[in-house]
């Protein structure tokens, strides 16, 4: 998956962002509404938000519980690892989302979807 984001506003007095091979575990806030997956970087001096491309809502639902009742179906802190492609495109190497009830749940690992993990206990027998 590709993260489309422009870091050039964060680099002071430089016209082009400094390309890096890869950077791991950047704190972020992940916001999903409909078919939009936004990644906001929470440690930058200016607000920088990127868009995740080529992702699947079904794959996300299989790997993390969605919320309800707000503007976003997902509004979770995360850690993202990315690799430089060009000025505004970065390959997503990994993305983990944090949930108070479940801890860290991986969505992307090794540049692909993580293996789904069970995040709910089995249904009680009386519900079956």
Total tally of structural domains belonging to the chain: 1
pLDDT of residue 34: 93
pLDDT of residue 125: 65
Is 105 a member of any domain?
yes
d(CA 4, CA 14): 20
Is 126 a member of any domain?
no
Instruction: With cut-offs at 50, 70 and 90, classify the pLDDT of residue 13.
Output: very low
Q: Which of 5-14, 18-27, 38-47, 89-98 has the highest mean pLDDT?
A: 89-98
Residue 20 has pLDDT above 90, yes or no: no
List Cβ neighbours of 90 (8 Å cut-off, separation of 6 or more): 2, 3, 5, 50, 82, 83, 84
pLDDT of residue 9: 67
pLDDT of residue 14: 44
Is 35 a member of any domain?
yes
Is 73 a member of any domain?
yes
Is 122 a member of any domain?
no
Is 74 a member of any domain?
yes
Is 56 a member of any domain?
yes
Residue 19 has pLDDT above 80, yes or no: no
Q: What integer is the mean pLDDT of 11-17? A: 48
Least confident piece of the model among 11-15, 34-38, 121-125: 11-15
Domain range for 71 is 2-115
Is 120 a member of any domain?
no
d(CA 122, CA 128): 10
pLDDT of residue 12: 45
pLDDT of residue 80: 97
């Amino acid at each position: 998956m590709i993260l489309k984001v422009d870091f050039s506003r964060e680099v002071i007095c430089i016209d082009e962002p400094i390309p890096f091979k890869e950077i791991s575990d950047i704190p972020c806030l992940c916001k999903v509404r409909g078919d939009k997956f936004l990644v906001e970087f929470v440690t930058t001096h200016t607000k920088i938000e990127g868009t995740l491309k080529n992702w699947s809502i079904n794959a996300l639902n299989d790997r993390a519980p969605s919320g309800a009742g707000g503007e976003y179906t997902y509004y979770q802190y995360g850690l993202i690892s990315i690799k430089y492609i060009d000025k505004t495109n970065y390959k997503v190497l990994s993305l983990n989302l944090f949930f108070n009830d479940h801890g860290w749940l991986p969505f992307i690992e090794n540049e692909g979807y993580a293996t789904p993990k069970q995040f709910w206990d089995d249904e009680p027998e009386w519900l079956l």
